[in-house]
Amino acid sequence: MSDEYWLISAPGKPTPRQTYDQVCTATGKDQLSTNFIFNIPDLKVGTLDSLVSLSDDLGRLDTYIEGVTRKLAQYFGEVLEGEKNKLAENLVVGPNNVDPVTYVTDFQWDHAKYPTKQSLKTLSEVISKAVTHVENELKLRSHTYNNVKQSLQALEKKQAGSLLTRNLNDVVKRENFLLGSEYLKTLLVCVPKALVKDWNEKYETLCAMIVPRTAELIAEDQDFCLFTVTLFQKTEDTFKHKCRENKFTVREFTFDEQALSSDKQQLSKLETDRQQLYGSLVRWLKINFGEVFSASIHIKALRIFVESVLRYGLPVNFAAIVIHPWRRAAKKLRDVLNQLFGYLDQSSTGRHDDNFDIPGVFSSQQEYYPYVYLKNTQSCNRRCKINDCLILQLVSNRFYSYMQNLAPFIVYQYLLMSTNVSSHSNDTISLPVEINQSYKVRLFLFRHAESQSNIKRDIIAGQANEVDLTDLGCKQAQLLGKRLKIEKLIFDQAYTSTAVRTKRTAEIALTEAQLSLPDNAVEDLCEQSQGDWEGIHRHEIYTPQTIQKMEVLNFDHSAPNGESLRQVQRRALKFLNPLIDRAKKESIKQNRSITIGIFSHGGTIRSLIQHFIQSNPKTAWLISNENTAINEFVIDPRGTMCVRVNDVGHLLLLA
């Protein structure tokens, strides 16, 4: 069987049951499909004007509810983590807890929730209100759970890892330190194993006032050895500088006997909180996935009803049928249906060519048939693999394909699908350069490495230009540099924002790659300003009312005295467009490609990617960009081509 389900309706000839039997007979000869009656009750018709208006509203509402259903299923899979094999048994619908496929093929209208005495518009409003409430609650619940989970992971990460990055409270002991001295101080130095001999020979002479023979090995792992060394406090800064020059790392550490106990208590509390939240969240997701999925199918029933009345007229007499085509039988099945119902619209012949129906991409022309038709793409079989689309999907004029942010290119492909643009966009940047002149500009957008503000996820950071990198961030930037060196990238020009974290990322990465440091720090490349919200806990700001406002304004939403993403995009392009103009001319002049490197921030880069691929601004938030992500664009006479988005393959070396 194929992964598609079709939902069609045709006039009762003379009764709905006879039409259904006719379809079963025609499709059963060559085993083209399996068919099911889609039970739609007698609903209030209303006026013609109300039906026409409602037809458009239901289409939009259908798309919205599908999106909420996908969010629930996707997040359910993320929450289950190692128990993803249990996802299928939790994605159930209706009072009998049946799987989604069974629910659709054996659909029964829920008269208790949606009384048929109410008008069609009232029914759609009831469904819309219920789904909106679930979506808002999902945001709040997921935010709370994710905060606890991320805090727990951050603390566990500190307890693990190498000596270069891990928490040292459970490694060192009181006797390793000289405590209570007014002049002397004990430091911890992390030395690569390959440089231990070098350390033993050099440490006493790195600077003045180091106490001789105080270096003591207190711990080691696969890559590093941890030494203590005692010196006079006034030479600490000089010692640290000399250590950096010799590739020794001085760990920032203050001995605290209570810290180890405090960390263990915090770890235990966070784990308890996570387990409590996990249980209630799984129960909530299971219940509300079923509720929203059921709402989605009821909306589709309303759409079939409205479209059928508009198409076939009164009195209401049509058969709604769910059709599951057999594999490779779709084209022949379509021909059979056209033969059965072609009399309904003789002019429809030839309006649609299945050769243009490419899954995952908008068709070059609208799908139209003489009968009412909705396509239902069922990309999850009864095993419900989490990496597939988990939701039954019916669309009247367009086919949307759902894709997760699991790989660098997937987001880009999704955005192309949702805006129907090609990978080349000729109107991205217009320049007074003749098309017959050959030029090529390679533009690289790099997000900064992990900073201190990234690990404080419950705080709204905004620009925070003075925030530096974490120890992990320094390692990420070093791996980015190795990646640049492997790819043999050489930048003709390189720029950073004025923020410390982008400057440090560029400095570490370009030094590792043995490339020249950035030409300038540019204020227009800074992160989105969050104005009065900066430094405030997220739960204090992101109330349901604020979230609703953000969803409405979307790309144009800004915090009080802050910036919207559109404003960020404009200021970034104010710098970038003239830079690309000059690079094009230089490329023509030198008859070679010009390569530009930009070290910036997640929000700024997200807005630029949206601009370059000309996607719907409402989808900009879907563009994932992790720390040190590589985003590459090529600009030539054909337009702007996206080569890769969110490429963080180099970070796999951290595992």
pLDDT in tens, 620-650: 777 878 999 999 999 988 888 888 888 888 8
Q: What is the pLDDT of residues 31-42, one digit of tens each?
A: 899 999 999 999
Q: How far apart are CA 631 and CA 446, in angstroms?
A: 6
* List 298, 324, 352, 448, catalytic entry: 448
Does residue 427 carry a pLDDT above 60?
no
Q: Which residues contact 448 (CB under 8 A, 6 or more apart)?
A: 469, 473, 499, 501, 502, 504, 505, 599, 600, 601, 627, 628
What per-residue confidence (pLDDT) applies to 507?
94
Which range scores top for mean pLDDT: 168-182, 345-359, 363-377, 404-418?
Answer: 168-182
Q: How far apart are CA 625 and CA 248, in angstroms?
A: 31
Contact 193, 200 (CB under 8 A): no
Domain residue limits, the chain: 4-135+294-395, 174-255, 437-654
Residue type, 396: S
Q: What is the pLDDT of residues 440-450, one digit of tens each?
A: 999 999 999 99
Which range scores top for mean pLDDT: 163-167, 341-345, 389-393, 596-600?
Answer: 596-600
Residue 153 labelled as part of a binding site: no
Contact 148, 156 (CB under 8 A): no
Interval 10-36 mean pLDDT: 90
Q: What is the pLDDT of residues 532-546, one digit of tens each?
A: 888 888 778 878 778
DSSP 175: G
Residue 501 labelled as part of a binding site: yes
Interval 459-486 mean pLDDT: 89
Higher pLDDT, 557 or 583: 583
Q: Is 611 a catalytic residue?
A: no
Query: Please, which residues bridge with residue 10 across strands?
Result: 319
Residue type, 42: D
Interval 221-227 mean pLDDT: 91
Q: What is the pLDDT of residues 391-421, one digit of tens each?
A: 333 322 222 222 223 233 333 333 333 333 3
Q: What is the pLDDT of residues 62-119, one digit of tens each?
A: 999 999 999 999 999 888 876 766 788 889 998 888 889 899 999 999 999 999 999 9
Q: What is the pLDDT of residues 226-250, one digit of tens each?
A: 999 999 999 999 999 999 999 999 9
What per-residue confidence (pLDDT) applies to 436?
41
What per-residue confidence (pLDDT) applies to 574?
94
Q: Is 448 a catalytic residue?
A: yes
Q: Which residues contact 551 (CB under 8 A, 6 or more apart)?
A: none
Query: Please, which residues bridge with residue 231 across strands?
Result: 185, 210
**How confident is residue 434, by pLDDT bands cut at 50, 70 and 90?**
very low
What per-residue confidence (pLDDT) applies to 387?
28
CA dist list (Å): 287 to 93, 130, 290? 8, 13, 5
- Helical pair 602-613 and 408-419, crossing angle rounded to 10 deg: 50
Q: Is 272 buried (19+), middle (13-18) or exposed (0-12) by CB count in 10 A?
A: exposed
Interval 191-210 mean pLDDT: 92
In 493-537, which ranges are E strands?
Answer: 493-497, 520-522
Query: Please, which residues bridge with residue 325 across strands?
Result: 33
Residue 449 labelled as part of a binding site: yes
Give buried/exposed letters for 25-37 (b at 16+ CB in 10 A, else e).
Answer: ebbeeeebbbbbb
Q: What is the CATH number of domain 174-255?
A: 3.30.70.100
Residue 450 labelled as part of a binding site: yes
Token pair of 523 as six digits: 């204020």
Interval 138-153 mean pLDDT: 87
399-404 contacts, C-beta under 8 A, 24 or more apart: 399/357, 399/359, 399/360, 399/361, 399/362, 399/363, 399/375, 400/63, 400/66, 401/359, 401/360, 401/361, 401/377, 402/70, 403/360, 404/74
Does residue 297 carry a pLDDT above 70?
yes
Q: How far apart are CA 292 and CA 311, in angstroms?
A: 28
Nearest to 384 by CA among 80, 77, 82: 77
Other beta carbons less than 10 A from residue 325's beta carbon: 22
Contact 342, 350 (CB under 8 A): no
Strand 520-522 relative to strand 493-497, pairing: parallel
Rounded to a whole number of angstroms, the CA Rg of the chain reads 31
Q: What is the pTM of this model?
A: 0.49
What dihedral angle (degrees, nearest 10) is formed by the CA atoms of 479, 484, 485, 486?
90
What per-residue confidence (pLDDT) applies to 402?
26
Q: Which of 50-54, 164-168, 436-440 has the lowest average pLDDT?
A: 436-440
What per-residue confidence (pLDDT) applies to 394?
30
Contact 320, 37 (CB under 8 A): yes
Give the whole-number percent of the chain exceeding pLDDT 70: 83
Q: Which of 107-116, 122-131, 339-348 has the lowest average pLDDT?
A: 339-348
Residue 454 labelled as part of a binding site: yes
What per-residue confidence (pLDDT) applies to 322?
93
Interval 192-202 mean pLDDT: 92
What per-residue confidence (pLDDT) applies to 2?
61
What per-residue confidence (pLDDT) applies to 177?
86
Higher pLDDT, 421 or 457: 457
Does residue 482 carry a pLDDT above 80?
yes
Contact 326, 2 (CB under 8 A): yes
Q: Which of 97-101, 158-162, 174-178 has the lowest average pLDDT?
A: 158-162
Interval 550-558 mean pLDDT: 78
Does residue 383 carry a pLDDT above 50?
no
Q: How far apart are CA 100 and CA 92, in angstroms?
A: 6
What per-residue confidence (pLDDT) applies to 445?
97
Does residue 510 carry a pLDDT above 70?
yes
- Helical pair 257-312 and 48-80, crossing angle rounded to 10 deg: 150
The highest-level CATH class for domain 437-654 is alpha beta
Does residue 191 carry a pLDDT above 60?
yes
Does residue 219 carry a pLDDT above 80?
yes
Q: How far apart are CA 484 and CA 609, in angstroms?
A: 21
Q: How far apart are CA 339 and CA 316, in angstroms?
A: 23
Residue 650 labelled as part of a binding site: no
* List 527, 563, 611, 650, catalytic entry: 527
Average of per-residue pLDDT values in the chain: 81
Does residue 271 carry a pLDDT above 90?
no
Cis omega (within 30 of 0) for bond into 14: yes
Interval 222-228 mean pLDDT: 92
Contact 337, 371 (CB under 8 A): yes
**How confident is residue 261, by pLDDT bands cut at 50, 70 and 90?**
low
Query: Please, which residues bridge with residue 441 across strands?
Result: 594, 635
Contact 199, 228 (CB under 8 A): no
Nearest to 271 by CA among 154, 140, 142: 154
What per-residue confidence (pLDDT) applies to 304?
94
